[in-house]
Amino acid sequence: MRTIYLGLLLIISVLGAVGVSQPGPLIIAIDAGHGGDDTGGIGIDTVTEKDIVLQIAHLIAIESVNFPTIKILLTRRDDRYLSPGERLANAHGAQVFLSLHLDFSYDPRVRGITVIVPKGAGNPTRALADALRARVTKAAKTPDLGTRTAPLWLRRLAIPAVQLNLGFVTNPEEARKLSQLAYQQRLAQAILEGIEEFF
Ligand SMILES: [Zn+2]
């Protein structure tokens, strides 16, 4: 009996030491790009980037009730301009930062999804980018335009942080789909699945 008790005590203390005794939810910051006077891209039928990405951010928060391991923080909840510093402050405590944007092209034929990682991004960030891209392009049935590197302000974050460009407001088909609730919900669901897979 005493041996079992000591054994249990040892297991509990080992689990405690490695921090797996009480795993909390993963905190994910969802950052809807632009806002207020900063509209982002305006495309076909005045589909406006700041509105679509805000809508998708809210849908991610709503759908996340079906993902008990994930807790969502929204950096922007309404139509207002926020500086990068304010976005970071609103993401306080997050383990992953995901910025949502749409794309713009002078060629209306261009469509598809791109993930952008900050310059000098490490392996966790690239793995997150791959997991999200795979899930989201499959759900959206749109071309996978790959992962790009850019000097994003997200490089200031010490956690995996990527920018997800969810389609082109300048492509008629994609602009139409992006304004539909069912399509936005599909994207939200795929983003949550990508985050879950990453972990
Ligand atoms: Zn944007």
Residue 74 in domain: yes
> What are the distances in angstroms from CA 142 to CA 20, 80, 113, 130, 180?
39, 30, 7, 16, 15
Domain CATH code at residue 109: 3.40.630.40
- What's the mean pLDDT in 20-43? 88
Q: Would you state the pLDDT for residue 130?
A: 94
- pLDDT grade for 28, boundaries at 50, 70 and 90: very high
Residue 9 in domain: no
Residue 59 in domain: yes
Q: How far is the CA of 116 from the centre of ligand 1 (A)?
A: 11
Q: How far is the CA of 34 from the centre of ligand 1 (A)?
A: 6
Q: How far is the CA of 103 from the centre of ligand 1 (A)?
A: 7
Residue 6 in domain: no
pLDDT per position as a tens digit, 68-119: 999 999 999 999 999 999 999 999 999 999 999 999 999 999 999 999 999 8
Q: Would you state the pLDDT for residue 22?
A: 52
Q: How far is the CA of 64 from the centre of ligand 1 (A)?
A: 23
Tokens of residue 1, six digits: 């009996």
Residue 17 sits at the vertex; the CA angle it makes with 14 and 19, to the nearest 5 degrees, is: 110
Residue 17 in domain: no
User: Which one, of 72, 74, 89, lies nearest residue 26 by Cα?
Assistant: 72
Structural domain boundaries, residue 192: 23-198
In the beta sheet, which residues pair with residue 144? 113
User: Which one, of 31, 30, 34, lies nearest residue 48 by Cα?
Assistant: 34
User: Which one, of 47, 35, 150, 33, lies nearest residue 108 by Cα?
Assistant: 47
Burial of 120 (0-12, 13-18, 19+ CB in 10 A): exposed
Domains: count for the chain: 1
Residue 14 in domain: no
- pLDDT grade for 193, boundaries at 50, 70 and 90: very high
Global model pTM greater than 0.95: no
Q: Would you state the pLDDT for residue 44?
A: 86
Q: Would you state the pLDDT for residue 154?
A: 83
pLDDT per position as a tens digit, 147-156: 999 888 888 8
Residue 64 in domain: yes
Residue 3 in domain: no
Q: Would you state the pLDDT for residue 56?
A: 98
Q: How far is the CA of 21 from the centre of ligand 1 (A)?
A: 40
Contacts of 152 (CB under 8 A, 6+ apart): 99, 116, 117, 118, 119, 161, 163
Q: How far is the CA of 1 from the centre of ligand 1 (A)?
A: 63
Q: Residues whose CB is under 5 A from ligand 1 (ion)? A: 33, 40, 101
